[in-house]
Chain A
């Protein structure tokens, strides 16, 4: 059902229509200022043939939430029932004004967004069109366009988080928006299916499933549908992860019960073994340039994070704090690695800088595991049992702004999409 909604959305979303010639996506605002927070006023939308309840939850709430969490904008509260003038904006110290207008055209909603500075000079304008089911997607698109108009990057608003959920009785692969909205199942194996990992083009996912009785890797489109099994000729076949630069998949396979890191093409050809130690090697993850692979190894007696060249050479250990480190994942710029680190008997998220060697602990209550970076590198999603059940949370990379994204059943193995859109 949701898949059809998406197909419809794709048809209905017209290409960006500039509202007038001078409102291109260029900004007169000093880009150096974009680094600091801009105060933005968002008055109640103009509505034609639409009630506020039609659009509040699906459109305005997610839009204003995105804007306030962008790290670029802070929403300047407007006094009620006041005509917006430059003086009013000045009084509330707003540098920007976002005007929204929604009308109904047949079954479609049409949203106009216009951004101007405090003097009224237009900064950005765009028209969006879609069905009721597409309104939330539109909200995220507006937020992405706004942020891009100011700093050239779309932010995380259109990214997706894949995860595993048991809410329907079996562990299956699910997807959600960056804010936890729009949660939907992608697989329906009726058998344990876990550990999803996005392809670099955001189109596919590879995951582990026991659908055939033993643990195997499958590739599926993010729209669901048919899945392909990757036959490796090995046992275990888990922790699969796509190379960001090729169609290689790194995974954990085992021969005679000894798990090692392997790489295989997504069509099951050209299998190569990268690690040869007698210890357990697990959880491989590619660096963003596709030339390094991090993994966990017990070769020093306790699980620690190592990095090797993509050929399996030049192995060096990078985790030195904590007696148990696992689940390493690279920041999009390749400079930092986040991982699960046991501190005083409890698992926490640690972020280590590969260049300087410094590391710091994030998160708090309960056990916090399996971090994954947002494509803009400003957020981490992770799983925590702080509520008594495993749920997926999101926080800024400084550890602030923690928010619970899932609540139905138990939810684990988050993997944030690699691209922002």
Chain B
């Protein structure tokens, strides 16, 4: 600002060399301009205090904002903490439930065994019913192995990498005890065993049957996601993308959605 003022003064001085009335008028108007400018300058100078005030105010507000921001962060933290501990108790509950399901399935099996073992005449009554087509072939003569035993044996085979045995075991379970609470898990593990063998077509079909057969299972989101991965493994990128987008659509808040989003990003596809 001062630099401009000095420049104008210099112009005024150089103008005194040869003076006319029009020159004087010009000079006067210039001076009045200058006076205006000085007045304005004075005004801005006085508003410096205001600026100071505003600044302090802003600083105060910033402080306050920061404080409330910090409070927000702590709040978010404590919410996250609460969510974590909720997640923890959900996990605990799920675990207990899983155990109880196994016990229940075992108990049901034991009761069935007792029932069929007692009255030897019972099977005759069953066969008296009209034979409903050839589907009565059912599972091979029950070895008496409970669903829990079947599940554990098959899972053991899976862990040891004996995927064919694992698939056979899990299939037997699904066949023998389709209503048992282990059936959806078994169905998922059949898919995962095929996936492990790189038999992606079979895996896709199996993951489908998890979704259609057990729509309320906690394995559905995983099955859908793995189905998408299987297509990508097969080189059928478009089918894979559709599948991953379906995961986002159906289970938007699940961890599987986060995985799907990441995979889509890797494939160069935008997603919400």
* Chain A contact residues, CB within 8 Å of chain B: 273, 276-279, 287-292, 298-302, 304, 309, 311-317, 320, 333-335, 354-357
Contacts and interface: CB of A to CB of B under 8 A. Distances in A.
A313 B159 contact: no
Nearest to A271: B266
A289 B258 contact: no
A288 B161 contact: yes
A299 B92 CA distance: 13
A314 B255 CA distance: 9
B84 A276 contact: no
A358 to B, nearest CB: 10
Given A289-B158, A320-B95, A355-B152, A313 B88 contact: no
A355 B156 contact: yes
Interface of B: 80-81, 84-85, 87-88, 91-92, 94-95, 98-99, 152, 155-156, 158-161, 188, 192, 196, 219, 222, 225-226, 229, 255-256, 258-259, 262
Given A299-B87, A320-B92, A355 B155 contact: yes
Contacts, number: 85
Given A301-B88, A333-B159, 11 more contacts: A278-B80, A287-B159, A289-B196, A291-B161, A301-B81, A301-B85, A313-B225, A314-B226, A334-B161, A354-B155, A355-B159
B161 A317 contact: no
B188 A314 contact: yes
Contacts of B256: 313
A289 B84 contact: no
A289 B193 CA distance: 11
A289, A313, A320 pick with most chain B CB within 10 angstroms: A313
A356 B225 CA distance: 28
Contacts of A355: 152, 155-156, 159
Contacts of A320: 91-92, 95
Contact of B99 (A302, A314, A357): A357
B255 A315 contact: yes
A51 to B, nearest CB: 49
Contacts of B84: 279, 298-301
A200 B241 CA distance: 34
A209 to B, nearest CB: 29
Contact of A276 (B94, B161, B219, B259): B259
A280 B188 CA distance: 28
A278 B88 CA distance: 15
A317 B218 CA distance: 14
A291 B258 CA distance: 21
B222 A309 contact: yes
Contacts of A317: 91, 94-95
20 contacts: A289-B158, A289-B159, A289-B196, A298-B84, A300-B88, A301-B87, A311-B226, A311-B229, A313-B256, A314-B188, A315-B255, A316-B94, A317-B95, A320-B95, A333-B159, A334-B159, A335-B159, A355-B152, A355-B159, A357-B95
Contacts of B222: 309, 313-314
Contacts of A276: 255, 258-259, 262
B192 A302 contact: no
A288 B22 CA distance: 102
B218 to A, nearest CB: 9
Given A300-B88, A300-B91, A311-B226, A334 B262 contact: no
A313 B160 contact: no
A357 B188 CA distance: 19
Given A301-B88, A355-B152, A288 B160 contact: yes
Contact of A333 (B160, B192, B219, B229): B160
A298 B83 CA distance: 12
B234 to A, nearest CB: 15
A287 B158 CA distance: 11
Nearest to A300: B88
Nearest to B99: A357
B47 to A, nearest CB: 43
Nearest to B226: A313
B160 A334 contact: yes
A320 B89 CA distance: 10
Contacts of A288: 159-161
Nearest to B189: A314
Nearest to B192: A309
A110 B176 CA distance: 62
Contacts of A313: 222, 225-226, 229, 256, 259
B160 A314 contact: no
